[in-house]
């Protein structure tokens, strides 16, 4: 199944893109999706401890199961205001 992944801020710069469609196995977790992204772009791995994840506009834990067409983002520490 396919999910959409979004990158922002410093992670967008490291990924070299702001979004990507990725094929994941049925029932894959957000953590596995991150590992797939990091396999394509190893520089992402070092950022993992600083990130939180979102699924469909809500913060989501790393063990959240994905569904087809989900929109997932890996969010660096926020600095609005």
According to CB under 8 A, which one of 21, 23, 57, 68 is a site residue for other proteins? Answer: 57
Q: Pick from 80, 79, 69, 73: which is nearest to 8 by CA?
A: 73
CB 79 within 8 A of CB 14: no
Closer residue to other proteins in complex, CB, 27/61: 61
Q: What's the N-to-C CA distance of the chain in angstroms? A: 37
Site string for other proteins, 17-56 (x = CB under 8 A): -----------------------------xx-xx-x-x--
Q: Which residues pair with 80 in a beta bridge?
A: none
Q: Which stretch binds other proteins (CB under 8 A): 21-29, 33-41, 73-81?
A: 73-81
């Amino acid at each position: 199944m396919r999910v959409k992944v979004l990158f922002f801020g410093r992670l967008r710069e490291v990924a070299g893109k702001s979004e990507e469609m990725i094929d994941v196995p049925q029932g894959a977790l957000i953590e596995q999706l991150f590992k797939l992204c990091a396999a394509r772009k190893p520089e992402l791995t070092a950022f993992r401890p600083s990130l939180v994840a979102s699924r469909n506009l809500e913060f989501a834990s790393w063990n959240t199961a994905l569904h087809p067409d989900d929109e997932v983002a890996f969010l660096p520490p926020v600095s609005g205001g």
